Amino acid sequence: MLDLKLMQNAPEVVREALDKRNSKIDVQEFTDLDDKRKALIAEVESLKAEQNKVGPEIAKRKKAGQDASDLLKRMGEVSGRVKELDRELAEVEKAEKDWMMAVPNIPHASVPVGVSEEDNPVLRYWGEKPAFDFAPKEHWEIGTALGGLDFECAAKLAGARFSISFGWCARLERALAQFMLDTQTGERGYTEVIPPFIVNKATMTGTGQLPKFEEDLFKLTDERELYLIPTAEVPLTNIYAGEVIPEEKLPVKFCAQTPCFRSEAGSYGKDTKGLIRQHQFYKVEMVNFAHPDHSYEALEDMTRSAERILEKLNLPYRTITLCTGDMGFGAAKTYDIEVWLPGQDKYREISSCSNCEDFQARRANIKFQPKDSKKKLFVHTLNGSGLAVGRCLVAVIENYQQADGSIVIPEALRPYMGGLEVVKAE
RNA sequence: GGAGAAGUGGCCGAGUUGGCUGAAGGCGCACGCCUGCUAAGCGUGUUAUGGGCGUAAAACUCAUACGAGGGUUCAAAUCCCUCCUUCUCCGCCA
């Protein structure tokens, strides 16, 4: 959510930001609502002030045994009017809040302006693409041939966009997740967390999934209005919802491996084969709570934490800066890391690291107490994948495939695989 | 699942014949005074959000907030209803 004061004092700044994002949201709607709200507040508050003044007078008269019927009559009218106005005000406030909740974050000044992913500049490349003296296959072909993946079985159990892994493949995925967690906690200063995988509406609203993107979520059908998390960003960021973090604790860095559940509504026909786009996948997620003065350093640090995983696995990647038109709803700046997939002959997203500045902190009311002032301020929140486990499994299979259909296990993972060096056909 | 108890400010804790309690008292914290040092003591202050006014900021003023939402009433922390959370006992269970 944007700052109300900014909306009121500098609507043109917001309009400009929305233009850069190709958003059609009309800022004038807000201004009209806000004017109406202020007018209602002025009226209802003066009536309430009268109530507060006259109330004790009534009590005094009653105690003294005097007649107060004139005051009671007047206050009866005032009370009725106050109820009316309160109702009206609540409506306007809700409309205004709804409007605010649907507005995306303002891009940071350093974010390149652009319309689509075509306009995302590459920041850096790392690693050498593996050279094959044969035509590299896609992961699903290799994995299925080696008995590790079975998409027909998954479809029988759950439907399209699900997977099931067996044996070496299941273990490899577990190894990857564990390797990532060990790296982030052991070398990058993260505290490991196991959060709930099901959360309530308020939590989903705090990070921005609701109210706008409900169709992307899996919702439970009972009356409690619970949702399956689409990313651990949601529970991790909301750990401090409604809380004040002492300044000296910043930055707080959490990471967690969780399953992620996404409805993938609207992605029909995209990535229908293999593990790339699933309704359920594991991801190791990083979340930072940073001091506003240092959040962009934190973004660089977080991006490095994600990149380190690929470097240790010796997987080639490139890092790009998302342009204004391609950024997510809550982000002020985002780096995507794309890993090389020889089977697809393409770089594919494997991590997305964003600084949301105070956008989520304002929604979820996450503040810190600066040492040198009484005023509590909003923290900046960041989130990033470190990494998407399923896609990383894809990258390992495709980059480490051999001519005979076997897969070499990256050295960094061998301790997690009981020393296994190669996965071969039986 | 059954039976009870409770939810007030950073914390503890008053408040229960509805009105003068944003909220006594205590602790903590901040600033000042006092003091050979420490401890103790004295004084002052100590919430958030929104509106008005206005500003570099503040000050001032009004409104709202006693788990959440709704109701009764001229008026609710105080009465009624629903929900949430926590705790205790019984049952059940990985």
Give ipTM to 2 decimals: 0.85
End-to-end CA distance of chain A: give it in Å, rounded: 55
Any idea which residues of A carry the catalytic annotation?
Answer: 262, 277, 349, 352, 391
Among chain A residues 48-87, those with CB within 7 Å of any atom of strand B: 48-49, 51-56, 58-59, 62-63, 72, 75-76, 78-79
**Region A184-195: what's the mean pLDDT?**
96
Which nt sits closest to A76, CA to C1'? B74
pLDDT score recorded for residue A369: 80
Q: pLDDT at residue A109 above 80?
A: yes
Q: pLDDT at residue A372 above 80?
A: no
Q: pLDDT at residue A149 above 90?
A: yes
**Region A82-93: what's the mean pLDDT?**
90
Decide if A278 contacts A285 (C-beta within 8 A).
Answer: no
Which nt sits closest to A72, CA to C1'? B74
> Cβ atoms within 10 A of the Cβ of A397, count?
27
Answer whether any strand B atom is within 7 A of the Cβ of A135. no
Give alpha helix (H) positions in A163-279. 167-187, 201-207, 233-237
Q: What is the distance in angstroms measured between the alpha-carbon CA of A7 and the sugar C1' of B56?
A: 21
Q: What is the distance in angstroms measured between the alpha-carbon CA of A307 and the sugar C1' of B54?
A: 51
Give how far the C-alpha of residue A112 lies from the chain's centroid of Cα atoms, to the nearest Å: 21
**Region A235-261: what's the mean pLDDT?**
90
Q: What is the distance in angstroms measured between the alpha-carbon CA of A322 and the sugar C1' of B74?
A: 60
Which nt sits closest to A45, CA to C1'? B63
Among chain A residues 87-126, those with CB within 7 Å of any atom of strand B: 90
Q: What is the distance in angstroms measured between the alpha-carbon CA of A374 and the sugar C1' of B45?
A: 13
What kind and span of H or E run contains A62?
helix A27-63
pLDDT score recorded for residue A245: 85
pLDDT score recorded for residue A288: 96
Range scoring the smallest mean pLDDT among A59-63, A88-92, A116-120: A59-63
Q: Hey, what amino acid is at A47?
A: L
Contacts within 8 Å (CB) and 24+ apart, A49-54: A50/A78, A51/A75, A51/A78, A51/A79, A51/A82
Answer whether any strand B atom is within 7 A of the Cβ of A246. no
pLDDT score recorded for residue A238: 92
Give the position of tokens 């000296």.
A248
Q: What is the distance in angstroms measured between the alpha-carbon CA of A69 and the sugar C1' of B15?
A: 30
Q: What is the distance in angstroms measured between the alpha-carbon CA of A192 and the sugar C1' of B87?
A: 30
Answer whether any strand B atom is within 7 A of the Cβ of A365. no
- Which DSSP string do the residues of A13-55 spell out, in sequence order? HHHHHHHHTT----HHHHHHHHHHHHHHHHHHHHHHHHHHHHH
Tell which strand B nucleotides have any atom below 7 Å from a protein Cβ.
19-20, 48-52, 62-64, 70, 74-75
pLDDT per residue as tens digits for the range A299-321: 999 999 999 999 999 999 999 99
Q: pLDDT at residue A36 above 80?
A: yes
Q: pLDDT at residue A399 above 90?
A: yes
Q: pLDDT at residue A391 above 90?
A: yes
Q: Which domains does chain A have, with CATH numbers?
A: 4-101 (1.10.287.40), 117-423 (3.30.930.10)
Range scoring the smallest mean pLDDT among A240-249, A278-287, A309-318, A353-362: A240-249
How far apart are the C-alpha atoms of A127 and A105, rounded to whole Å? 34
pLDDT score recorded for residue A62: 84
Q: pLDDT at residue A125 above 90?
A: yes
pLDDT score recorded for residue A53: 87
Which nt sits closest to A44, CA to C1'? B63
pLDDT per residue as tens digits for the range A11-33: 999 999 999 999 999 999 999 99
Range scoring the smallest mean pLDDT among A94-103, A251-260, A265-274, A290-299: A265-274
Q: pLDDT at residue A373 above 80?
A: no
**A357: which DSSP letter?**
T
Answer whether any strand B atom is within 7 A of the Cβ of A270. no
Answer whether any strand B atom is within 7 A of the Cβ of A129. no
How far apart are the C-alpha atoms of A318 and A6, rounded to whole Å? 36
The overall average pLDDT reported for chain A is 93
